[in-house]
A = this chain, B = another copy of it.
Amino acid sequence: MKYRIGLVGCGVVGQGFLEILAAKAEELKARHGFEAKVVAIADKLKGTAIIPAGIDIGKALKWLGAGKSLDEFGPVKAKREAPADPLDVIARTDADIIAELTYTDIKTGEPATSHIRKALQTGKHVVTSNKGPAALYYRELAELAKKKKRQFRIEGTVMSGTPVFTLCERGFAGNEVREIKGILNGTTNFILSKMETDGMEYGEALALAQKLGYAEADPTADVEGFDALAKVVILSNVLLGGNLKPAQIRPQGISSITRQMVLDAKAEGFRYKLVGFARRESGKIAAGVAPQKLSLADPLTGVMGAQNALTFDLDLLGKVTIQGPGAGKLATGHAILQDVLAIHHDLE
């Protein structure tokens, strides 16, 4: 089957996904029997292109790279109607799969949640790396997907393309997840690593992270633990059957960790990490985000720099840890591909 894919949002993740689709087209066909064409791209800033015959991905990426609007892209541009609202694009396109790749708004989940609802309601599968809808409305959206016999997949919301949900679905199939505990935010892990390895004060390390593009100008979401918390909520709700909302938990970030605390911990054989955790406790979910002094025996302790890692405590396998990238154009682009291929293999 040749899938028709529509992208809503075409920033770093979307362009990473398009790059992979273009570079790997032959390989995906040969190895997975997978073929796709991109029939729509809608981006609030970059414009909209709807081409049912399939967008030339290489040309579109160059176009975007040159800073041109997608409103002007493609052979049928003269005949095209005025740039449409993303909700209209989603409703009108004949895409089988919508990749929702707009920026995360963790407070409202919008406009992504509306995009996803519309896509599912009009019979499309949805894949997303957007943490907002997954943290705030996972259960509602998963139920809507089920009702519509479509898939709602969110691999890219946690640890970018490092497999978490597909790992659980297949690799841990038959296990009960009793607890998850992880380093889920690369920015804070980078800062804590620099404080230890280079003896930096918190402020210095943060400034370096900002300079290198790991941290935003307003670093609150990262350093105060809100980003990690969104991921903990998603993991709780998807893997532990919870029904948490981010607002129910107050995360503790790393802004009060000093260089001296880091060095003292090191001298004692420990290392500070910003740890997100969730576990079942007498029928309820206990979850949180806080700096923890981990012993050197903990698999999370060796995870340095911007990497992410997650330890699962499983009833059959015991503890299994996966460590990998938590961000990046190709890594997150691959998360989208991973979900699209999962849909493909389930439909095969």
Determine if A331 and B345 form an interchain contact, defined as CB atoms under 8 angstroms apart.
no
A316 and B331 contact, Cβ closer than 8 Å, known pairs A163-B171, A166-B171, A174-B20? yes
CB-CB contacts below 8 Å: A232-251 with B? none
CB distance from A110 to the nearest CB of B (A): 30
Q: How far is the CA of A18 from the CA of B287 in the complex (A)?
A: 34
Pick from B172, B301, B317, B322: contact of A302, CB under 8 Å:
B301
Answer whether residue A186 sits at the interface, using C-beta atoms and an 8 A cutoff: no
A123 CB-CB contact with B under 8 Å: no
Contact of A345 among B170, B296, B303, B318 (CB under 8 A): B170
Interface size on A, residues (CB 8 A): 47
How many Å from the CB of A26 to the closest CB on chain B?
A: 12
Q: Is A325 an interface residue (CB 8 A)?
A: yes
**Closest residue on chain B to residue A348 by CB atoms:** B346
Structural contact, A316 and B334, CB atoms closer than 8 A? yes
Please determine whether A318 and B303 come into contact, CB atoms closer than 8 angstroms: no
Q: How far is the CB of A113 from chain B (nearest CB, A)?
A: 26
A333 interfacial contact with B, CB 8 Å: yes
Known: A296-B302, A299-B302, A302-B299. A171 touches B338 (CB 8 A): yes
Q: A76: which B residues are within 8 A, CB to CB?
A: none
Residues of B within 8 A of A333 (CB): 316
**Assuming A174-B24, A297-B304, A342-B170, is B325 touching A322 (CB within 8 A)?**
no
* Given A32-B173, A171-B163, A171-B167, also A318-B331 (CB < 8 A): yes
Q: Is the interface of A mostly helix, strand, loop or mixed?
A: mixed
Q: Kindly state whether residue A337 has any CB partner on chain B within 8 Å.
A: yes
Q: Is A151 an interface residue (CB 8 A)?
A: no
Q: Does A320 contact B (CB under 8 A)?
A: yes
Q: Which residues of the partner chain B approach A316 to less than 8 Å between Cβ atoms? A: 20, 161, 330-331, 333-334, 337
A323 within 8 A of partner (CB):
yes
A144 within 8 A of B: no
Is A321 a contact partner of B322 (Cβ separation < 8 A)?
Answer: yes
Interface residues of A in 132-173 (CB under 8 A from B): 161-163, 166-167, 169-173
A311 to B, closest residue via Cβ:
B323
Tell whether, in the assembled complex, residue B174 and residue A341 are in contact, meaning their CB atoms are under 8 Å apart: yes
Asked if A319 is an interface residue, CB under 8 A from chain B, the answer is yes
Given A162-B317, A302-B301, A324-B318, A170-B170 contact (CB < 8 Å): yes
30 contacts between A and B (CB under 8 A): A20-B316, A24-B174, A27-B174, A32-B174, A161-B316, A163-B167, A163-B170, A166-B171, A167-B171, A169-B170, A170-B171, A170-B341, A170-B345, A171-B171, A171-B338, A173-B345, A296-B302, A297-B304, A299-B303, A316-B330, A316-B333, A317-B325, A317-B330, A318-B324, A320-B322, A320-B324, A320-B325, A321-B322, A322-B322, A345-B346
